[in-house]
């Protein structure tokens, strides 16, 4: 198993598309969570408004603030990463090569998912490091206090962020295995996150039944988890307390397990052409 994990990590690190996607993800994160809010704060019309805009950018608000983008756009890009990893195995025909060599199907699957989990953990850590640095700089420039949040709060936010991204990446993996390719899974995944989840979010207040559906939607539950960690709620980021924090955590964990299981079972049962 360790051999396969090391092989998959080697393959992952060597793949240019992974670095491009990771860099894009970090750049968007910094832009949407630090740069644009900072520009808005600097352009504030009044001191009161400036104070309101500066507050979430300060180090004390870091845990919830950094993961604000994870439920929607952050998750969408990570879904692409998951679909890219598995979809290209079908596209290039390399799945056939790998499975006719050494690793068994389950070993290969677990090694790839572990690699994805490792890289997402690294991405979350780098994201926190960059956003911490940005918030310290912003606080310094605005003359605001440098009160750091407790380490446990940072750890909780990182773990929640990692879990949310794992859920979306495994949806990408699962769709790629089910549809044996890359394009359709990416298209369907993005439609789900960016369109379906949003449509339900906006229509749920109007129809009771949709309100109940919203409570069990993966994106809405991810948004609830982020909201439970102190992030500002907003319809544009998908962060809203639709369900309680504990329920949201269980739901996101359940979806993560479900997507992983569906991917594994499909791979184990199907013929590889």
Partner 1 sequence: MATLPASAQRAALRTTGLTKRYGNRTVVDGVSISVSRGEVYGFLGPNGAGKTTTLRMVVGLVKPSAGTAEVLGRRPGDPQGLARIGAMVESPALYPYLSGHDNLAVLARHAGVERARIGAVLEQVGLADRAGDRFDRYSLGMKQRLGVAAALLKDPELLILDEPTNGLDPLGIADMRALIRRLGDEGKAVLLSSHNLAEVQQICDGVGVIFNGKLVAQSTVQELRGGVAIVVLATPLERAESQLVELLGREKVSVIDDQIRLEVGLDRAASLNRQLMLAGIDVHELRREERSLEEVFIAMSADHLNRPGGSHAQ
What's the rounded Cα separation, in Å, for the pair 149 and 131? 13
CA torsion 202-203-205-207 (nearest 10°) is -170
Q: How far is the CB of 253 from partner 1 (least distance, A)?
A: 30
Q: How far is the CB of 113 from partner 1 (least distance, A)?
A: 15
Burial state string for 130-147 with b = 16 or more CB within 10 A and e = fewer than 16: bbbebbeebbeebebeee
Closer to partner 1 at the Cβ: 80 or 222?
80
Residue 209 CB contacts under 8 Å (≥ 6 apart), including other chains: none
Closest CA to 173 of 112, 214, 233, 217: 112
Q: How far is the CB of 79 from partner 1 (least distance, A)?
A: 21
Closest CA to 77 of 119, 37, 135, 40: 119
Q: How far is the CB of 146 from partner 1 (least distance, A)?
A: 43
Q: How far is the CB of 16 from partner 1 (least distance, A)?
A: 6
Closer to partner 1 at the Cβ: 105 or 215?
105
What's the rounded Cα separation, in Å, for the pair 250 and 240? 16
Q: Which residues bind partner 1 (CB under 8 A)?
A: 3-4, 6-7, 10-11, 14-17, 92-94, 96-105, 107-108, 271-273
Closer to partner 1 at the Cβ: 25 or 90?
90
Closer to partner 1 at the Cβ: 17 or 133?
17
Closer to partner 1 at the Cβ: 81 or 171?
81
Closest CA to 66 of 53, 75, 54, 57: 57
């Amino acid at each position: 198993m360790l051999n396969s994990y090391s092989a998959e990590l080697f393959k992952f690190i060597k793949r240019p598309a992974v670095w491009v996607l990771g860099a894009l993800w970090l750049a968007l994160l910094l832009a949407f969570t630090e740069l644009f809010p900072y520009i808005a704060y600097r352009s504030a019309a009044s001191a009161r408004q400036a104070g309101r805009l500066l507050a979430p950018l300060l180090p004390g608000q870091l845990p919830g603030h950094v993961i604000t983008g994870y439920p929607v756009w952050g998750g969408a890009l990570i879904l692409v990463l998951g679909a890219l990893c598995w979809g290209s195995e079908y596209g290039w025909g390399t799945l056939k090569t790998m499975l006719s060599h050494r690793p068994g199907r389950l070993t290969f699957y677990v090694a790839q998912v572990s690699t994805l989990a490792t890289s997402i953990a690294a991405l979350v850590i780098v994201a926190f490091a960059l956003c911490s640095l940005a918030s310290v700089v912003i606080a310094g420039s605005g003359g605001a206090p440098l009160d750091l949040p407790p380490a446990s709060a940072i750890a909780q936010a990182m773990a929640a962020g990692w879990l949310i991204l794992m859920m979306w990446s495994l949806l990408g993996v699962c769709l790629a295995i089910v549809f044996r390719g890359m394009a359709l899974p990416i298209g369907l995944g993005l439609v789900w996150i960016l369109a379906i989840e949003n449509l339900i979010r906006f229509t749920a207040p109007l129809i009771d039944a949709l309100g109940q559906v919203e409570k069990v939607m993966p994106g809405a539950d991810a948004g609830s988890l982020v909201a439970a960690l102190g992030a500002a709620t907003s319809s544009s980021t998908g962060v809203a307390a639709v369900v309680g924090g504990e329920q949201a955590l269980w739901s996101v964990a359940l979806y993560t397990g479900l997507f992983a299981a569906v991917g594994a079972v499909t791979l184990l049962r199907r013929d590889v052409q």
